[in-house]
Structure 1
Amino acid sequence: MTLLDADDTIVAIASPTSPAPRGVVRMSGNETLNILQLMGVPSAEIRTPRRLATHVELGSPLGKIPVDAMVWPTHRSYTGQPSAELHTYGSLPLLRELVDKAGRCGARPARPGEYTMRAFLAGRLDLTQAEAVLGVIEAEQRGTLDHALRQLSGNLSQPLERMRSTLLDLLADVEAGLDFVDEDISFISDKDILDRLSTIAVELEQTLRLMQNRGGGSARITVALCGPPNAGKSCLINRLADQQVAIVAPIAGTTRDTVTVDVELQGNHLTLVDTAGIEEAETEVSLQSQAQARRSTSESRVRLWCVDSTSDEFAANATELKELAKRTRKPQTIDLWIATKTDAAINSTPTSDPNLPWIQCSALNGDGIDRLKKSICENLKQHDAEEIGSVVGTAARCSQSLHQAIAAIHQAIQLTAHQEGHEFVSAELRTVAQCLGEVTGTVYTDDILDRVFGRFCIGK
């Protein structure tokens, strides 16, 4: 796919190829109206977007078929070109006949992602938003869709463009000073350069970290049930999964290996992990199970810290788990505190600590389970709203460019700190601007476009 092809008028089936009552053939390019006219659609006089109920002659033996033509005659379409969609019966052979008819009238078959590439080239979308279109199409769960929609609205490209604009302002000041290096005129001090570079570096590193933490939103979210032995974790995972996935017994230490089960809560695809009770290891088997439990605890996005509300050691266990949670917590980790077995508690559980908002529940009779599920989903939604988030393809493509930008900006900081000369700083700043431009598409090559739009299917 090259930029020279962007003037061609293209056509493709835009609807799924599986059997359906209706199907769509999409066309885009400067010759769209003329080609429609040749196909029998009276579009020559159309000046505003319009829906036409008409027929297209496909020849023997098909004859005329009814078509609803949606026509965008000007550049105010998705692709920024005159465009049309032909809606008719969902028969795949029939749709192919329509594409062939358009081809005989002057259109060529569209390549994968070519419609969205034209939208990008026309300035309708930046590169991260174009990738978000694919993210919306491929989303299989609500969280993935939310991330793609936020990226489509510009929540990734806007902060990157703001950083790039700030960087270009700094670059202009630095290079203005180079023009007067032989005169006693100072356009910008080293301290000012360092301050502004440090701010940009922090923002870039935070952007990269948030993208990597989320990983595009497509993977299942791991929810680990953690706590001391016999804290009711296995009962709780069975209740959350609505099936028996873990062995339940009154003997402490029943769970040795981690037990996992996939569930869906309000559109969130979760993997629940029942871990071995946290305790001092006394045997080789116990040592391995503890290592496995701590690894799951450290790596999980959501941790449910379970403490037996009937235990005399409730306060001591809670204090110990609080310290463990603090040591192993990552920026995007969600910690929830569960007082279990409340059906058997004689006295009210001392759970008034405002720093540990306890959720009291009973896996036996179901008390508090709905509240726990709601809390998991609300916390995920709140944390996701604070993240930049990105679709998988964007995270993979942008990671290298952002790493290069961060490396270059730190090199510029070192050069400035050692007073190596603003001409060297300027070169590094240009590298940073280049890398950020590659992410949003301000700077692009045919190779970058092929890599992005080649992942699309034909017709999108």
Structure 2
Amino acid sequence: MLDSNETIVAIASPTTPAMRGIVRMSGQSVVPILEAVGIKSSQAKRAQVIQSRIDLGTPLGKLDIAVSLWPTSQSYTGQPSAELHTIGSAPVLQSIVNVLTTAGARAARPGEFTMRAFLAGRLDLPQAEAVLGVIEAEQRGSLEHALNQLAGNLSRPLEQMRSEMLDLLADVEAGLDFVDEDIEFISDEALVERLSVIHAAVDKTRQSMESRGGNRSRAIVAFRGNPNAGKSHLINALVGREVAIVADVAGTTRDVVSVETTLDGHAVQWVDTAGIESRAQHDPLFEITAASQAHALRASQNADVRIWCVDACHDDLAAQRRYFETHDGSSKRSSIDIWVATKSDLIDSTQRQPDWMYTSVITGDGVDRLRDRVSQFVASHDKEEVGSIMGTAARCSGSLAHAATCIETAIRFVQQGDGHEFVASELRVAVECLGEVTGAVYTDDILDRVFGRFCIGK
């Protein structure tokens, strides 16, 4: 492993022309190197922004530059760090790197800044891999998954499992130390119960990661709109069988109705919701309506695709759309809205408006086109899901499977009345496996695999 105290430097922004470009530097000699090139800090131990100039030699000469400096360990990498901001010109940025390397810095390797953040405890391994996911994200879905992982949504439950395992291991080993005395730190029944809960959580996490890495994520498609707008008719037509109750009476659907199918090889959950409506508090159906609206709203906000259905005969489709856009509030960043004018057989083709898909379950008009639109999104949804988590899943699934097996073996040892020294041995291995996932336990090979995929400057 390279010396993490060496001062490294790299271009940290895209090399395409831009208004601003960034050169990043990290290491114990950041401040002396800056001073060597004429950039003086005004505060010894405080983060600061320095307006200065740097001499890039012939033919570029002196260049105005803004330097964000963190002179202590309170930085992303846990070391003195600096970012030099100037115009986004590749030759200029490379010239700055050359000047700083001449003054004592070393060119950074791929992922070396993020690796130093990991070594400093700023990130764990899943979060470090999520940094790469954020960098590589090309669509909203992949960015959302990477940001969730970066926020610790994977790491926190795993670290909690590991912490609980360490507590149990401490109890078991304490019991071994006092085996000749009448002291019980944890009963076999309690040990089995707590290990069973942890085993279920580890196995669920492993299966979830493997299913996502294996391109088997499920997209949720929710149907929204006014009562009697044809939502149930349409979902039946798209699925190809009757899964939702259809009637001419408005408000037939009160509860959320869902069915899972495959669409061109991709898993889809189709969700029919109650039509959007409100009632006065004195209305006998007020409580039922309020509950159905709450369920429908929750389903809508969790959906990947929202199909908004409005009767094509409606007087003002644009106004109806504006109303719907303000009705459901927040939604997943990766979701899309498809605006569908149903019962298109009841209007003339000249009445059709842009930005709306027209469908009729009577004539079949537009149903295949809508199905294809959903299929296209679901295919990209699965691709994004895989792209953002595949690296973590590939690295972690084996460790999680081994941890689950060790916990299962430990439970069997307890139930069979075998010595607790065997139980402790299995728990130690399980703790180490969970540590490999979060990065509490790591080797140089693991770090090379994780950070070798990064680009230089990150």
Scaled by the length of structure 2, the TM-score of the pair is 0.67
What is the SS of the residue equivalent to 1:425? helix
Amino acid at match of 1:195: E
Instruction: Measure, in 1, the Cα distance between the counterparts of 2:308 and 2:46.
Output: 63
Residue 296, structure 1, aligned to residue 262, structure 2 = yes
- Aligned-pair distance for 1:210? 2.6
Q: Which residue of 2 aligns with 1:182?
A: 180
Q: Go from structure 1 to structure 2 and tell me whether the alpha carbon gap of 1:217 and 1:90 turns closer, same or farther (over 3 Å shift).
A: farther
Q: Which residue of 1 aligns with 2:157?
A: 159
Q: Go from structure 1 to structure 2 and tell me whether the alpha carbon gap of 1:298 and 1:98 turns closer, same or farther (over 3 Å shift).
A: closer
Instruction: Measure, in 2, the Cα distance between the counterparts of 1:339 and 1:158.
Output: 36
Amino acid at match of 1:97: S
Instruction: Measure, in 1, the Cα distance between the counterparts of 2:105 and 2:40.
Output: 17
Asked whether the equivalents of residues 212 and 389 of structure 2 are also in contact (C-alpha less than 8 Å), the reply is: no
Equivalent positions of 1:430-449 (< 5 A) are: 430-449=428-447
- Aligned-pair distance for 1:363? 6.5
What is the SS of the residue equivalent to 2:4? helix
What is the SS of the residue equivalent to 1:18? coil
What is the SS of the residue equivalent to 2:23? strand
Instruction: Measure, in 2, the Cα distance between the counterparts of 1:402 and 1:118.
Output: 25
- Aligned-pair distance for 1:82? 0.7
Instruction: Measure, in 2, the Cα distance between the counterparts of 1:33 and 1:39.
Output: 10
Asked whether the equivalents of residues 21 and 87 of structure 2 are also in contact (C-alpha less than 8 Å), the reply is: yes
Asked whether the equivalents of residues 22 and 87 of structure 1 are also in contact (C-alpha less than 8 Å), the reply is: yes
Aligned CA RMSD, in angstroms, stands at 4.1
Deviates more, 1:98-107 or 1:39-48: 39-48
Deviations 1:393-424 (A, max 9, x none): 22221111111111111111111111121111
Deviations 1:241-297 (A, max 9, x none): xxxxxxxxxxx9xxxxxxxxxxxxxxxxxxxxx78x569xxxxxxxxxxxxxx9835
Amino acid at match of 1:174: V
Instruction: Measure, in 2, the Cα distance between the counterparts of 1:420 and 1:155.
Output: 37
Amino acid at match of 1:362: T
Equivalent positions of 1:56-455 (< 5 A) are: 56-215=54-213, 277=240, 296=262, 300-304=266-270, 362=342, 364=344, 366=357, 391-455=389-453
Q: Go from structure 1 to structure 2 and tell me whether the alpha carbon gap of 1:109 and 1:210 turns closer, same or farther (over 3 Å shift).
A: same
Scaled by the length of structure 1, the TM-score of the pair is 0.66
What is the SS of the residue equivalent to 2:14? coil
- Aligned-pair distance for 1:26? 0.5
Q: Percent identity?
A: 56
Q: Which residue of 2 aligns with 1:352?
A: none
Instruction: Measure, in 2, the Cα distance between the counterparts of 1:212 and 1:19.
Output: 40
Instruction: Measure, in 1, the Cα distance between the counterparts of 2:48 and 2:306.
Output: 57
- Aligned-pair distance for 1:217? 9.1
Residue 11, structure 1, aligned to residue 9, structure 2 = yes
Runs of 5+ unmatched residues, structure 2: 224-229, 243-259, 273-301, 314-338, 348-356, 361-369
Asked whether the equivalents of residues 305 and 336 of structure 1 are also in contact (C-alpha less than 8 Å), the reply is: no
Amino acid at match of 1:19: P
What is the SS of the residue equivalent to 2:156? helix
Amino acid at match of 2:135: I
Instruction: Measure, in 1, the Cα distance between the counterparts of 2:211 and 2:311.
Output: 35
- Aligned-pair distance for 1:200? 0.3
Q: Go from structure 1 to structure 2 and tell me whether the alpha carbon gap of 1:117 and 1:431 turns closer, same or farther (over 3 Å shift).
A: same
Deviates more, 1:168-177 or 1:393-402: 393-402
Asked whether the equivalents of residues 147 and 217 of structure 1 are also in contact (C-alpha less than 8 Å), the reply is: no
Asked whether the equivalents of residues 343 and 362 of structure 1 are also in contact (C-alpha less than 8 Å), the reply is: yes
Asked whether the equivalents of residues 35 and 105 of structure 1 are also in contact (C-alpha less than 8 Å), the reply is: yes
Asked whether the equivalents of residues 224 and 297 of structure 1 are also in contact (C-alpha less than 8 Å), the reply is: no
Asked whether the equivalents of residues 216 and 390 of structure 1 are also in contact (C-alpha less than 8 Å), the reply is: no
- Aligned-pair distance for 1:336? 10
What is the SS of the residue equivalent to 1:98? helix
- Aligned-pair distance for 1:9? 0.2
Q: Go from structure 1 to structure 2 and tell me whether the alpha carbon gap of 1:44 and 1:50 turns closer, same or farther (over 3 Å shift).
A: closer
What is the SS of the residue equivalent to 2:153? coil
Instruction: Measure, in 2, the Cα distance between the counterparts of 1:222 and 1:299.
Output: 15
Deviations 1:433-460 (A, max 9, x none): 0011111111111111111111111001
- Aligned-pair distance for 1:146? 1.8
Amino acid at match of 1:10: I
Instruction: Measure, in 2, the Cα distance between the counterparts of 1:298 and 1:219.
Output: 14
Q: Go from structure 1 to structure 2 and tell me whether the alpha carbon gap of 1:299 and 1:203 turns closer, same or farther (over 3 Å shift).
A: farther
Q: Which residue of 1 aligns with 2:366?
A: none
Instruction: Measure, in 2, the Cα distance between the counterparts of 1:68 and 1:123.
Output: 28
Amino acid at match of 1:31: S
